[in-house]
Amino acid sequence: MSAVTVLRESAPGAGHDGPTAPQDAREVLLDVHAITKSFGDRVVLSDMSMRVHAGEVVAFLGANGSGKSTTLRAVNGLIEADSGDITIAGVRLNEASPHRRAEARRTAATVFQKIHLVQRRTVLQNVCAGGFARLPAWRSIPPLFGRDLREEAMGCLERVGLADRAHDRAGSLSGGQQQRVAIARALCQRPRMILADEPVSALDPKAADDVMRLLHELAVSENLGVAAVLHQPHLARAFAHRVIGLRGGRLVFDAPTADIDDVEVASLYL
C-alpha cells in the first residue's frame, strides 16, 4: 500500500467549530524530523516527522503496530531513534550533552494508558512524586516531601479538579479520576509538554471525554503542548487541533482537525 503523506499547515483550531484555538500555536515545543527505528530486521518507523506547538493538542491515530508509541518513546527517551533528529524545547538532542538531553526530555511528561499510581499512598503523595526529578533522592521518600512540594502538588490537583481527594488513597478513586491524578503528577514535573499514550483507552466514554477535555483545557489555558495517542477518532475530532495519521511506521497525514475527512481516517485501519 502506498503511503501518501499529506501535510497541511494552517492555524490549529482556526476556522471550525471544534476545539478552542490555542493562544500561541507557533512556538515549536517538539520537532521530530525524519526519524527511523528498527527492531532487528523490522523497520517500525520510517522518515517520521511531526511537530507539537505550544497551546496545541496533536492526536496520533493509527492501527495497532503503526508506530505511535514508538514515536513517543523516541521523544521521551524510553528508546533512541536510529537516525533523524528530535528537538525538544529548542534543544537538538543529537547535539546535546547527556545532561542537557535529559533536561530537555524532562520538559515532556508522559502519561500512559496503564495508570502507574501507588495505590496505597494518598493522591497527594502520588502527585508529589512528579517532583522527583527536581529532588535529591533522600527527599523523594514520601514523609520527607517538603511543604513547598506539597503545596505545588495541591495546586496541580486543583488544576485537574481533584483537590478535595488529596488525602484519599489513590486506589479508592475511579479509573478516570486516577488518570486525572496521573496528569496532576505529570504537571508537578513542570512540563512544557504532555505525551499521552492512549490516556483514555481504559476509561468509559464519559471519563474519556473528561480526561481529553482536561488535556485540551491545559493546552489552551496554560500553553502546554499535548501529543495524545488515541484509538477513538471522534475524540481526536472533538479535542485535538491537529491530527496525525500513521500507517506501517509512516506518516500518512498531518493536518488541522477540520481538514481531516472520514475516508482518510478509515484508510488508517484498512
Ligand X SMILES: Nc1ncnc2c1ncn2[C@@H]1O[C@H](COP(=O)(O)OP(=O)(O)OP(=O)(O)O)[C@@H](O)[C@H]1O
Q: Which residues bind ligand X (CB under 6 A)?
A: 39, 44, 62, 64-70
Task: State the helix-helix crossing angle for 147-159 and 175-187, rounded to 10 degrees.
Answer: 130
At closest approach, how far in Å is the CB of 103 from ligand X? 25
At closest approach, how far in Å is the CB of 37 from ligand X? 8
**CB nearer to ligand X: pick between 68 and 106:** 68
At closest approach, how far in Å is the CB of 150 from ligand X? 35
CB within 8 A of 57, min separation 6: which ones?
19, 215, 216, 219, 226, 228, 239, 240, 241, 242
**CB nearer to ligand X: pick between 69 and 179:** 69
At closest approach, how far in Å is the CB of 125 from ligand X? 30
At closest approach, how far in Å is the CB of 9 from ligand X? 25
**CB nearer to Mg ion: pick between 44 and 183:** 44
Q: How many CA atoms, within 13 angstroms, populate the side-chain half-sphere of residue 175?
A: 14
At closest approach, how far in Å is the CB of 69 from ligand X? 3
Q: Which does 39 bind (CB under 5 to 8 A by kind): ligand X, Mg ion, none?
A: ligand X
Q: Which does 65 bind (CB under 5 to 8 A by kind): ligand X, Mg ion, none?
A: ligand X
Q: Which does 62 bind (CB under 5 to 8 A by kind): Mg ion, ligand X, none?
A: ligand X
Q: Which three cell numbers stand for residue 237?
A: 475530532
CB within 8 A of 49, min separation 6: which ones?
32, 33, 34, 35, 84, 251
Q: Which does 237 bind (CB under 5 to 8 A by kind): Mg ion, ligand X, none?
A: none
Residue 269's φ and ψ, nearest 5 degrees, are: -110, 10
Candidates 178, 176, 168, 239; CA nearest to 203 is 176
Q: How far apart are CA 188 and CA 133, in angstroms?
A: 10
**CB nearer to Mg ion: pick between 61 and 184:** 61
**CB nearer to Mg ion: pick between 69 and 177:** 69
Site for Mg ion, rule CB under 5 A: 69
Candidates 98, 116, 132; CA nearest to 182 is 116
At closest approach, how far in Å is the CB of 188 from ligand X? 26
**CB nearer to Mg ion: pick between 78 and 102:** 78
Q: Which does 44 bind (CB under 5 to 8 A by kind): ligand X, Mg ion, none?
A: ligand X
Q: Which does 97 bind (CB under 5 to 8 A by kind): Mg ion, ligand X, none?
A: none
**CB nearer to ligand X: pick between 44 and 153:** 44
